[in-house]
Amino acid sequence: MQKFRSWLASLHFRLIVGFTLVLVVSLLGVSLYVHYAAEREIERFQQEVERARAERIQQVVNQYYENNDDLSGIGPALEQAKWLYNWNIEVTDAEGKPIALVSGKKIVPESPARQRTAPPFDKLQNPPLGPDDRKKVGDGRRFGRHTYKLQDRDKKDVASISMGPADIPGVVPEPPMSRLLATLDASLLWTGIAAGIVGIALVSLLSRRALLSIGVLRGAARTFGGGQYSHRVPKMGPHEIGELGETFNSMADDIQRAERQRLNLMADVAHELRTPLSNIQGYVEAMKDGVISPSDETLESVHQQVLQLNHLVEDVKLLSLLDAGALRLNFERAAADDVLNRSVRGFMAKAHSKEMRLTTDIDKDIPPVRMDTARILQVVDNLLENAVRHTPQGGVVTVRAGTLSTGEVFVAVEDTGDGIPDDVIATVFDRFRRADPSRARTTGGAGLGLAIAKNLVEAHGGTIEAKSSPSGGTIFRFTIPTDQERTPPH
């Protein structure tokens, strides 16, 4: 019972019910229209048949009058028409007195004297019945709904003929046309029922096949939601369901990749935090146990570890804000060369201590840029920090800047270091990514500087890229748009 209720609430049942309702409404509309059209056509056909019969009887009367110059003896001819058509026929003279009456009763005697004295008949004066000649008898005649008048060549009335269908005893009745309409309605009904059964069966079959694929996707989504991120759906064809399956697999790949990155990020953060915390713990326990005595040198070492720990926490927090789009940027129009020169001056001492040269090649015609000065300064500092760290003694680090043909301002930081391998350059902006993962903490940072630089540049609507040669030398270059009307992403 529960399974049946579940089926009643399913999409499969709703599709069948929906199709059935559409089919019923469509068949009902078609049936009503066909019934109406058929009824009108049958009525028109009956009228045409009656018109043709009336014109035939008219021709008989005309021919008889033309041959005999009167209507004497017209009764037997009309009697044949009665038995042939099952009609009542009445012939009256110009004054309305009956000449002959053909009906279920006996033939009424004619008036030979009146007919013999009638003027000669000219058939050209009596054309076939037209629409105006066929009218309902309402002027005192006893029966008939088709009437016309015989006229001589002087267009004087000689006689009138009134006729119409009747139910004459002894005459085999014609089947009513309404029977044809009833048969048509019955045929439409059974055809509609048969079409409905076939249509519902086809919809049920086709929708079931389509819903099976949806069921596979639903099961895959439940499995994926349960934490099995490696689960995928099989290929389900080139149609829309197949595209949906491919989209699901693509989404699953992205989620699995993001989950892997999340786990790696947690592991990297834990690793990066462990080193300074372990150092701080070691110094504090040693001083507590009296192994070493508190001194300015010891306290300075502890202080450096705290600063390093704080810097790492701030970097992780900044990346989190950038990912969530919650970092507020204070945009202002500023000179790019001033920001670059400030950053270069800050690294001069470190460059001299490694006996390397730090030079600039900055175009003097760089237009003002709409930017967050502090954040762009942080981008340049991160790139210079990375370049100075990996450039050997006696090397050269150069900061270049200028304007592209597109109107964007570019900034490039070039070094003469060892270079970055090709298999690493594509992921150099990933978090906690290092060109040499095995290098000691004293020679490398946490691996967040380039990731922060990339996110900050993109927050300004720009792009950043890295080019390197394994034989030596690396170039980090980013661009910032100068269009004042362009709205940054954040």
Residue pair 309/318 in contact by the 8 Å Cβ criterion: no
Give 463: exposed, middle or buried? Use CB within 10 Å, 0-12, 13-18, 19+: middle
Nearest residue to 322 (alpha-carbon basis) of 431, 395, 427, 192: 431
Determine the Cα–Cα distance for residues 409 and 489; give it in Å rounded to an integer: 18
Per-residue pLDDT, 133: 39
How confident is the model at residue 167, as a pLDDT?
67
* pLDDT reported for residue 458: 93
CB 321 within 8 A of CB 327: yes
In b/e form, how buried is each residue of 84-94, taking b as 16+ CB within 10 angstroms? ebbbbbbbbbe
**The architecture CATH gives domain 240-322:** Orthogonal Bundle (1.10)
CATH class for domain 329-480? alpha beta
Contacts of 341 (CB under 8 A, 6+ apart): 360, 362
Cβ 451 vs Cβ 386: under 8 Å: no
Domain with CATH 1.10.287.130 in the chain: 240-322
Domain span(s) for CATH 3.30.565.10 in the chain: 329-480
* DSSP, residue by residue, 73-91: T-HHHHHHHHHHH-EEEEE
Q: What pLDDT is attached to residue 126?
A: 37
Q: How far is CA 34 from the centre of its chain?
A: 35
Do the strands 369-371 and 332-334 form a parallel or antiparallel pair, or are they unpaired?
A: antiparallel
pLDDT of residue 282: 87
What pLDDT is attached to residue 397? 95
Q: For residue 232, which of 205, 206, 250 has the smallest C-alpha distance?
A: 250
Low-confidence residues of the chain: pLDDT under 70: 1-2, 7, 9, 104-144, 167-175, 236-238, 433-446, 483-490
Give the model's pLDDT for residue 327: 85
Question: Which amino acid, one-letter code, is at 299?
Answer: L
pLDDT for res 123? 34
